[in-house]
């Protein structure tokens, strides 16, 4: 099966086509945007399909990063994945960024416990803790600095954009697998294959509100009748 994989949860706008039977990637396209995923995602997907030498009709499934991460980026990626899946009549699944980062850590440091941690700003972190077998034992959730630091055992491997902050501020040294806010698109593909499509439609993993509020200062008073 040709699996289309999408990641827009952080700075990257990435897509790849993964052959699930052969276990190999057939084509990819990646832009390091920071912002503007909505304007570029469909072109990135088209480039990945072209690199793989296939068309939309050749796809058998779609996987997408569901966060935590950029609220706008996650929304763009998930809505695109769900829309394409509906239009093509194929299944879709979601993979969390924390699972993907933990996978990077396990591949680099097998047999070790992992703390995947992303900077959530305001002194908070998105965290998920995994044991030495790769089983999720806590999270995903928001934690403050003391809570996140308490997850770090002597043999823990750190992964994610908050790794250096957690290590430096605590005055201890830990192995760090990645300091990025997301994983390579190929990691999402491999996780999606292992995970399958039994979890229902992908949905954004928002661990807290965006903080966006309506612009009440520009609302005009209602005219009396």
> Are 8 and 104 found together in one domain?
no
Q: Please name the residues in contact with 183: beta carbons below 8 A apart, sequence gap of 6 or more.
A: 7, 97, 100, 101, 103, 104
Helix-strand-coil percent breakdown of the chain, rounded to 5?
A: 35, 30, 35
Domain of 122, CATH number, reads 3.30.420.40
Cβ pair 65, 80 in contact under 8 A:
no
> Are 45 and 127 found together in one domain?
no
> Are 91 and 17 found together in one domain?
yes
> Are 191 and 92 found together in one domain?
yes
Task: Give the largest CA-CA distance in the chain.
Answer: 72
Number of domains in the chain: 2
Please state the φ and ψ torsions of residue 224, each to the nearest 5 degrees.
-70, 140
> Are 80 and 187 found together in one domain?
yes
Minimum mean pLDDT among 114-118, 172-176, 192-196: which range?
A: 172-176
> Are 30 and 78 found together in one domain?
yes
Report the predicted TM-score, pTM, of the whole model to 2 decimal places: 0.90
> Are 28 and 128 found together in one domain?
no
Give residue 154's pLDDT.
83
Indicate whether 145 belongs to any domain. yes
> Are 124 and 155 found together in one domain?
yes
> Are 29 and 57 found together in one domain?
yes
Judged on CB neighbours under 10 Å (0-12, 13-18, 19+), 189 is: buried
Distance in angstroms (rounded) separating the CA atoms of residues 129 and 116: 6
pLDDT digits (tens, 9 = 90+) for 19-40: 999 999 999 999 999 889 999 9
Q: Please name the residues in contact with 22: beta carbons below 8 A apart, sequence gap of 6 or more.
A: none
Judged on CB neighbours under 10 Å (0-12, 13-18, 19+), 166 is: buried
Give residue 66's pLDDT.
98
Confidence bin at 170 (pLDDT 50/70/90): low
> Are 86 and 190 found together in one domain?
yes
> Among candidates 212, 51, 73, which has minimal Cα distance to 81?
73
Indicate whether 29 belongs to any domain. yes
Domain that holds residue 42: 2-96+183-195
């Amino acid at each position: 099966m040709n699996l289309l994989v999408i990641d827009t949860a952080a700075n990257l706008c990435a897509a790849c086509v993964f052959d699930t039977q052969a276990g190999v990637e057939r084509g990819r396209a990646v832009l390091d945007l920071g912002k503007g995923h909505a304007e570029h995602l469909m072109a990135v997907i088209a480039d990945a399909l072209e690199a793989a030498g296939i068309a939309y009709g050749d796809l058998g499934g779609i996987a997408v990063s569901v966060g935590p991460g950029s609220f706008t980026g996650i929304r763009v990626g998930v809505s695109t994945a769900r829309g394409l899946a509906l239009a093509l009549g194929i299944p879709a699944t979601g993979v969390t960024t924390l699972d993907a980062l933990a996978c990077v850590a396990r591949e680099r440091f097998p047999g070790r416990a992992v703390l995947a941690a992303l900077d959530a700003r305001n002194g908070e972190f998105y965290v998920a803790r995994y044991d030495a077998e790769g089983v999720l034992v806590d999270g995903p959730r928001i934690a403050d600095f003391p809570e996140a630091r308490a997850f770090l055992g002597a043999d823990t491997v750190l992964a994610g954009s908050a790794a250096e902050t957690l290590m430096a501020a605590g005055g201890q040294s830990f192995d760090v697998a990645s300091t990025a806010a997301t994983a390579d698109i190929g990691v999402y593909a491999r996780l999606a294959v292992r995970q399958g499509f039994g979890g229902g439609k992908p949905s954004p993993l928002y661990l807290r509100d965006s903080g966006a509020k309506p612009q009440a200062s520009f609302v005009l008073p209602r005219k009396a009748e």
